[in-house]
Chains A and B, each alone.
Chain A
């Protein structure tokens, strides 16, 4: 069945470091891919998304490119800030359903 695999956390970085959080997926057809973020004490919120191969989603300095050849949707940011500390969830939605499948989440901790 469809699934999402994320790298385990926590990921610990210093401010201004480069961030990569890996996400790979298994799905039939052409799923849509998402990154959601959960800041401390808040609900998950959509960070970015891509709906077809080679699309790049971007928001708040974060980027992720839909790579069908490697079935990946890795999240990147060139220079992280302390305020980026949160849990990041990769998710997919199969092309023919309403069902969202989430990864396990990766906790990012950024220190000054």
Chain B
């Protein structure tokens, strides 16, 4: 298998502050990483796709200036929630895509998630 870690696992912050979440692929190089958001009792919704060395591609409705994504290396992507507000409170999950010999064999491996609570 492959392991993806996230840090921190949970964070509480005051409204207006910025929070950075790290996503690391520990034993493989992830050219592509994904950031998902999950509200209570709902499914995962893709926020953005991050490719190493290039700008992230954001899904419709996701503010790129609020959710800054940086994929500086093949093993690290960061999501920064800028000027966080209570409505940003959610569970954020990242995944890294492990390259395969053919595209259909490429698999995403998920991190354990980061719970953000904005007061």
Chain A bound to chain B: no
| Chain B residues close to A by CB (< 8 Å) | none
